[in-house]
Amino acid sequence: CDFPHGQAVVDVGFDARPAGIKHAQIWVQGRGGKQQLWGQAPGFKAAQPTGKWMTDGMKLLLVDMDAGKLVAATTVRAAPCR
């Protein structure tokens, strides 16, 4: 319940194999636009926790390493506590 105003652990994984991607990277982008490499793998990476440092509004970017292109992006948003 602290996430909307604090930090949270987010499970991050991907399967880019159907798109033909052989080598991929996950980058984390903060609100200020600074990007940091979080991980890389062949076209598949099972979900792994980030640690308690993700904040509302951060972006996760999936990059095709071979082509040097952004493949997908998503913004992390806090969900209401129940």
- For the stretch 14-53, pLDDT in tens is 999 998 999 999 999 998 899 999 999 998 999 999 999 9
Measuring CA to CA, which residue among 21, 11, 71, 58 is closest to residue 41?
Answer: 21
Rg for the chain, CA atoms, rounded:
13
Task: Using a pLDDT cut of 90, give the percent of the chain over it.
Answer: 63
Judge whether residue 63 has pLDDT over 80: yes
Q: What is the pLDDT of residue 67?
A: 95
Pair of tokens at residue 2: 């602290």
Q: What is the pLDDT of residue 6?
A: 79
Measuring CA to CA, which residue among 73, 16, 18, 64 is closest to residue 44?
Answer: 16
Q: What is the pTM of this model?
A: 0.85
Residue 19 phi, psi (nearest 5): -90, 0
Which segments within the chain are labelled E, that is strand? Answer: 11-15, 23-29, 35-42, 44-49, 59-64, 69-75
